[in-house]
Structure 1
Amino acid sequence: MEKNSAFQAAGYIQAVLRQNLPDFKPRAACILGSGLGRLADKLTDKVTIPYQDLAAFPISSVEGHAGELVAGRLAGVPVLCMKGRGHFYEGRGIGIMTAAIRTFKLLGCDFVFVTAAAGSLHKEIAPGSLVAISDHINLLPQSPLVGANDAAFGPRFFSMANAYNADLCSLLRQALVKNGVEPAQGVYVAWSGPNFETAAEIRMMQIIGGDIVGMSVVPEVIAARHCGLKVVAAAVITNYAEGLSDTALSHEQTLHCAAQAADKFVQVMTGFFAELAEPPAG
């Protein structure tokens, strides 16, 4: 199912690109989290494809996830942007994003830039911060690669060493500094949701080495590493986790805080891709 839908989606996207952007060869794919779709609006030479036209792409039921794939250039770099993702808590399985990730591999992408809204596990990581994700802890029920392995995409057993590519993470930290953002990095803890965590669960996450927490990211990263795509990831901190603040947690608050940080997020992302852009000929 995932293999067939990935090939179908890749073929359809290639046909659309040939018709509208004949010289377009994507270098990266960006997965844009809750309230962060504004980055796709900054692309030049844009072509938009609704997820409804792509069997591999999950139509999210969550507010803040538009359900569109946007192809275009960011700082001169050809990229694909997912405006919205699927989540485990929507009830369609842990592998809800696997076919979309494999589509990016088939289209020739070199890496995936995963973004998300997240909560802070430490007082020193304040809401509004941008955090480069350095590693993760998976508290989801299982891996998206559970089940029969498709050797066309990767081996049955594979390493998660350098899961968040060190060279790309270094470029991200440079982009943070150049855009006046204090470079912060941390370990992302994946929580199943849709409920937020209890204060006791947050204390557990602190004890095991987590820095930020959210309900996505990790399934995409595992699927990407399985098929040989490099990964870089960043989170916009929208709140302190339960027990660290008196503010009541809600998705509305997440979207509000993400929107407030969106301009800085777009600035940093544009700076990151500007670092990757090849110098003009001559």
Structure 2
Amino acid sequence: MQKSKKVQTAVNHIQKRFAPGYSPVLGITLGSGLGSFVDMFSSALWLDFEDIPGFPRSTVKGHTGRLGIVRHGQTDCLVLQGRNHLYEGYSPDEVCFATRVLAGLGVNTIILTNAAGALNPLFEVRGIMLITDHVNLMGTNPLVGANVDAWGPRFPDMTEVYCPVLRDKVLDVALDVGVRLEQGVYVGVHGPCLETPAETRAYRLLGGDAIGMSTVMEAIAAHHMGVKVIGLSCLTNKNLPDCMAQTSHDAILEQANRTANNLTNVLQAIIVSGMFAS
């Protein structure tokens, strides 16, 4: 089935579950270990990825794999509790499938969160970085192949993938809830192995401030479809090439869980701010 038709099939399936008057304006993708954010919702309808036509299953620990249809205050949101990655063996189109479905469901802004390693030596573990730009070192691109003209142009401009207007507003609302955000460039790599000291040194020389294995594919796909993007990285470990400490996925999840409270406070402030209203 043509990829645009697969996305539309999923959109139609999900829309049937919408309550009367429900009109989502915001999509949120939760990264590794950050799923506790959903505990703030008093009511939500959850759909497992495997029950939605075309949705790839999430196979990674820390990614539940479900879509939440949420009304929080006056804001209608769609929340992805988990995502898919290239290192799981998925194609770029499969990795971006959920993002494109959110766009098809009408969201005008998407918040992409992730757990990332800090490359900038001034950044501390358990901090949160607001993404200003990215470097795509994943070896592929979700726009490869025939362009879907209804989604966006063949050669999209990438000058402002992460909306600068929304970034300024996010900084303000984060300070209002007592959370200081770092700002910097996210380096996206294929994975699944973590970085060597030599690679870490190279990524820093390229201008990277944090590194991870997600977000970039989804950001490109969302931007291509005209959706505004906000990126937030929870810094779970520090990559210092001259004194690299060994780490593991379980350790990264543990640090992400410790950061989840601050992330939840920031996300809640963003939702109630109304900055993404259509």
Structure-1-length-normalised TM-score: 0.93
Distance 1:16 1:172, change over 3 A: same
Specify the alignment match of 1:276 in structure 2.
274
SS in 1 for 2:174: helix
The equivalent position to 1:251 in structure 2, one of 246, 249, 252, is 249
Specify the alignment match of 1:9 in structure 2.
10
- The one-letter code matched in structure 2 to 1:271 is A
Q: Deviations over 1:125-149 (max 9, x none)?
A: 1110011000000001111111111
- In structure 2, what is the Cα distance between the partners aligned to 1:246 and 1:229? 38
SS in 2 for 1:61: coil
Specify the alignment match of 1:61 in structure 2.
59
- In structure 1, what is the Cα distance between the partners aligned to 2:242 and 2:119? 8
Specify the alignment match of 1:45 in structure 2.
43
Specify the alignment match of 1:219 in structure 2.
217
Deviation at 1:249, TM superposition (A): 1.4
Deviation at 1:199, TM superposition (A): 0.6
Give the total of aligned pairs. Answer: 276
SS in 2 for 1:16: coil
Specify the alignment match of 1:167 in structure 2.
165
CA RMSD of aligned residues (A): 1.7
Give runs of aligned pairs for residues 116-155 of structure 1, distance below 5 A.
116-155=114-153
The equivalent position to 1:22 in structure 2, one of 17, 20, 23, is 20
- In structure 1, what is the Cα distance between the partners aligned to 2:65 and 2:240? 29
Deviation at 1:75, TM superposition (A): 4.4
- The one-letter code matched in structure 2 to 1:182 is R
With 43-52 and 107-116 compared, the bigger mean Cα shift is at 43-52
Specify the alignment match of 1:92 in structure 2.
90
- In structure 1, what is the Cα distance between the partners aligned to 2:189 and 2:228? 23
- In structure 2, what is the Cα distance between the partners aligned to 1:233 and 1:251? 21
Q: Deviations over 1:72-98 (max 9, x none)?
A: 123431110100000011112222232
- In structure 2, what is the Cα distance between the partners aligned to 1:47 and 1:242? 42
Structure 1 residues not aligned, in runs of 5+: none
- In structure 2, what is the Cα distance between the partners aligned to 1:244 and 1:168? 36
Q: Deviations over 1:182-213 (max 9, x none)?
A: 23111000011000011111111111111000
- The one-letter code matched in structure 2 to 1:191 is V
The equivalent position to 2:74 in structure 1, one of 67, 73, 76, is 76
Deviation at 1:45, TM superposition (A): 3.2
- In structure 2, what is the Cα distance between the partners aligned to 1:9 and 1:64? 24
Q: Deviations over 1:105-139 (max 9, x none)?
A: 22111111100000000221111001100000000
